[in-house]
Amino acid sequence: QQRGFGTTRVTNTTPEAAAAAERIVVGAAGDDSMLIIKLAQRLLESVHDGTLISSMTTMTSEMAAVPWWVAIAGSVFVLRSFLILPVSVYQQRAAARAQQQGRVVMAWSHSMRSSLRLETQDQKLTDEQFEKMLARRINLKHHDLMLRQGCHPVFSMLLPLSQLPVWLSMSYALRHLCGRPGFWDNQGAMFPVADGMLTEGLAWFTDLTVADPTYCLPAILLLVNMANVMIAQRRMRNGTLLGVLQQKSGWIRAITLASYASPWVIACISLLQPTALVYYWTLSATFGLVQNIAFQNKSLRAKLKFPTLPRTKLETAQMAK
């Protein structure tokens, strides 16, 4: 059996299997999916039928096909390891430099407050006006330092921008393999179900083409995504400028609220999606969670050459005890 871009050629099979293969070929003939979706589908198929592993090794014999649950997990590992992980490391370095500058500015905040008091003592500002002016000055100072150190806040968007195309293309490809139309396909055109999708699941979700009747996978997905959000928010608040300004900035509060709401939205959407798709989302989120936890390890951060953060007053006091 050989696969590629939605087509299948089967040799030495039963007439029923040959007829199924013919239906897949006919159904794929009109596939006008984007190239990136076809590439994602090709990756999934090549892992499933063993051609990817064979091409990456010196083995002369072809690898046996693996179940779809293994193929999906293998695709997640390949994409996250070779595409997303390098971007994550680069972003973490930039974020650490930004945190460094944030703690430097926080250390200066007391003197900046005193200086601003002297400058505005004749202006009769209210406490609210003074705090807003101080927050604006601190923010400008932090922004200037980040530009000098090459850690502009725009770098924080690198990881989402790199993950989104991969996530969407894999999601579309899995829907195609499960015989489902695209998310926004108003015509409802159905795709032929890939061989094995009905039986090559795992544990309680052997049929990967239907939604999880137990809702266990959506629940796991919700918990993993919430853990990722909490780690990210704690990292942003811990001794950085965000921790100083988040109570005074409406857009920061809005972003924080949206980040906590997004796992619930995704979990609700996953209730109606094929199990293969939710399984992929859960594995991808779990890989990200393990990565986020690992990035907090001091030894690993040193090996990856992440900048060392200066201690906060609280950390210094705790060490003194």
Which two structure tokens, joined as six digits, stand for 237?
């608040």
176 near 185, Cβ under 8 Å?
no
pLDDT of residue 21: 41
DSSP 8-state assignment for residue 194: P
Q: What is the pLDDT of residue 23?
A: 38
The list of the chain residues with pLDDT below 70 reads 1-33, 49-64, 150-156, 182-190, 236-252, 309-321
DSSP-derived letter for residue 9 is: E
**Contact call for residues 31 and 191 (beta carbons, < 8 A):** yes
Phi and psi, residue 9, nearest 5°: -120, 125
pLDDT value at position 183? 64
Q: Return the pLDDT at 219.
A: 96
C-alpha dihedral over 92, 96, 101, 107, to 10 degrees? 140
Q: What is the pLDDT of residue 110?
A: 78
Non-local CB neighbours of 201 within 8 Å, separated by 6+ positions: 67, 68, 69, 207, 208, 275, 276, 279
Domains in the chain: boundaries: 1-32, 92-320
* pLDDT value of residue 309: 61
**Is the distance from CB of 162 to CB of 145 less than 8 angstroms?**
no
Query: Taking Cα atoms as reference points, which of 220, 173, 199 lies closest to residue 47?
Result: 173
- The whole-number pLDDT of residue 268 equals 93
Query: Which of 223, 85, 271 is closest to 166 using CA atoms?
Result: 85
**In Å, how far are 11, 14, 92 from 159, measured between CA atoms?**
43, 47, 10
What angle, 0 to 180 degrees and rounded to 10, lies between the N-to-C axes of helices 158-177 and 68-79? 160
- Determine the pLDDT at residue 153: 64
